[in-house]
Amino acid sequence: MLRTAAGASAAGLVAGGALAAALPAAALPAAAAARPERSGQSAERPAHSATTTPDAGSAAGPLVIHVRDARTGEMDIFAGTTRTRLRDPALAARLVRASQ
Amino acid sequence: MSSHREAPEISKDPVADSTDVYAFVSPDRPSTVTLIANYIPLEEPAGGPNFYEFGDDVLYEIHVDTDGDGQADVTYQFQFSTALRDPDTFLYNTGPIRSLNSPNWNSRQFYTVTRVAGGISQPLGTGLACPPCNIGPLSTPRYATLAASAVHSLPGGVKVFAGQRAEGFYVDLGSIFDLATLRPFQQLHAKYGMHIFNRPEPGVNTTNELNVHSIALQVPIAALTGSSSRDESDPRAVIGVWTTASRRHVHILDADQGTSSWSGPFRQVSRLGNPLVNEVLIPLGKKDFWNTQPPIYDEMFASYVAHPELAALLPALYPGVFPHLAGLAKSGKPRADLEAILLTGIPAGLIKGFQNHTGPVLADMLRLNTAIKPARKPNILGVLGGDLAGFPNGRRVFDDVVTIELRAIAGLTYPLVAAAYKPDAAAGAITDGLTPEDVKKPYLRSFPYLGVPYGGYYNPS
């Protein structure tokens, strides 16, 4: 049962036309606009001190790309307990094509 | 309820749904405070075959603010993992469970405790065993002794327990949410033209004979406030406490493998400080958002405390019973008494010998003045009953927080900030009609204080 109350589903297309995809880590190209946000250091977590999660930064588990806006190429990459926001219209376009 | 299923989204996610928070100076170890965060509301004791357990995919936290800024200075994190001895049986246990390492116990849960302060994470304990759920006399004989063995001692004089407990919070949910028809006063209710109730009746404890899952921690006061010998007038003696539950951003259901996996940072999905704040004061459309926010941002919700909807409803639902409250609500004056009780703490000078003020930051935290000693003869109405060691000075497991908050909302505490205001007589009498006597399982005199959970064989009976 999916019970992620505040998270994004990775099960496919989500509301607003955004695209989410789970990829192996090797499929991710370097992106100049990448902006990593570790757990608790951004609006992801409230600004209280409970910020360091026990497995913070771990790359274990799936790597998930959530294309928030295919037009601008804005996307989030989820890996371990990190989220990285980047803007890469070409990659977004490729992912959209791959999903069709 | 206190915070059971209090918001639309979290009501669908029981393992991450905080139900109650308690914080009190431990009566049997007064150099320590006990902090308890309850999760998983309304557990039916007969929970087989999949008995209740914490979420392995949830980050549970108990936060402590020691300087009044609405941000955690010390956080205790709890993460759980479930281990199956034999995945090829459908059974939770294959024989009597007489110890925490019983080979008959198939589905066991373990956890880690981490203390976070000043950006530094310090593991306090790993591989700590939870007790099993209370199944029945054959599966979990001598349950109280078995569960007591799951109280673990950690470095620094800390004790911890995580597992099933009897629900200690009592409330007449059926009456309160049937248009606030409090049974002891139901004959006075407007009843919408329906002549149903002609006489008062005693309250009915909706949560009786149900269980919860508790995360309980006992910590030396000095480890939080820097000293165990502060004076009660010292602001540094006051701590603010709340709990949160967080989930990872992404949950992937892998149908090919039949597995689940998670990715991304944790995001807060549940929060609880003072009882009934999100339940009764925050409007339906903002409850889930409230759950995602830290206390430091509670100013955006302050109007719902200063102008509580229920204070305006009571005079309408009970015509002629609350005339002074009606006038107060109609005046539009902010309820500074409720803001003090719930958002800033009560400043010195309003109640003789008492303060739990944390400063001007509006933040929903359970505020405890750790310098106030436990009461020898506790009053379940806490500070309202002249017992400064009870709610809203922290909260003990037996405090009647429903009656206390009903009376406060009804205007009983408004004279704290407006001496000329005369509360209605009903404000000092309003209640849902319950006491700890309506909780079938007794509270414990020592850690973890909440009673032995109801067993599935005999409950419901």
Other CB atoms within 10 A of residue A58 CB: 12
Q: How far is A18 from chain B (nearest CA, A)?
A: 14
Instruction: Please give the model's pTM, rounded to 2 decimal places.
Output: 0.90
Per-residue model confidence (pLDDT) at position A20: 55
Contacts of B262 in chain A (CB under 8 A): 61
Per-residue model confidence (pLDDT) at position A18: 47
Please answer yes or no on whether A4 and B119 come within 8 Å at the CB atom.
no
ipTM strictly over 0.90? Answer: no
Per-residue model confidence (pLDDT) at position A19: 55
Per-residue model confidence (pLDDT) at position B228: 81
Please answer yes or no on whether A82 and B121 come within 8 Å at the CB atom.
no
- Selected residue with higher pLDDT from B198 and A46: B198
* Residues whose CB is less than 8 angstroms from the CB of residue A93 and which lie 6 or more positions away in sequence, other chains included: A70, A73
Please answer yes or no on whether B63 and A50 come within 8 Å at the CB atom.
yes
Per-residue model confidence (pLDDT) at position B195: 86
Contacts of B265 in chain A (CB under 8 A): 37-40, 44-45, 53, 81-83
Per-residue model confidence (pLDDT) at position B1: 61
B250 touches chain A (CB under 8 A): yes
Q: Is the pLDDT of residue A57 over 60?
A: no
Q: Is the pLDDT of residue A17 over 70?
A: no
Preceding peptide of A89 cis, ω within 30°: no
* B84 class by beta-carbon count within 10 Å (0-12 exposed, 13-18 middle, 19+ buried): exposed
In which residue ranges of chain B is pLDDT below 70? 1
In order of A19, B26, B49, B412, B414, the CA distances from B107 in angstroms are: 37, 32, 11, 50, 52
Q: Is the pLDDT of residue A30 over 50?
A: no
Q: Is the pLDDT of residue A27 over 50?
A: no
Q: What are phi and psi of B209, to 5 degrees?
A: 65, 25
Q: Which residues of B, range 252-281, sit inside 8 Å of A by Cβ?
A: 252-253, 261-269
Per-residue model confidence (pLDDT) at position A21: 54
Other CB atoms within 10 A of residue B115 CB: 21
Contacts of B293 in chain A (CB under 8 A): 46
Q: Given the DSSP bridges, would you call strands A63-69 and B120-129 parallel, antiparallel or unpaired?
A: unpaired
Which amino acid is residue B96, in one-letter code?
A: P
Per-residue HEC secondary structure of B93-131 comes to: ECCCCCCCCCCCECEEEEEEEEEEECCEEEEEEEEEECC
Look at residues B285, B394, B297 and name the one whose alpha carbon lies nearest to residue B69. B297
Please answer yes or no on whether A61 and B293 come within 8 Å at the CB atom.
no
Per-residue model confidence (pLDDT) at position B306: 98
Per-residue model confidence (pLDDT) at position B125: 98
Element counts in chain A: helices (H) and strands (E): 1, 5
Beta bridge partners of B310: none
Contacts of B253 in chain A (CB under 8 A): 2, 11
Q: Given the DSSP bridges, would you call strands B158-166 and B152-154 parallel, antiparallel or unpaired?
A: antiparallel
Contacts of A60 in chain B (CB under 8 A): none
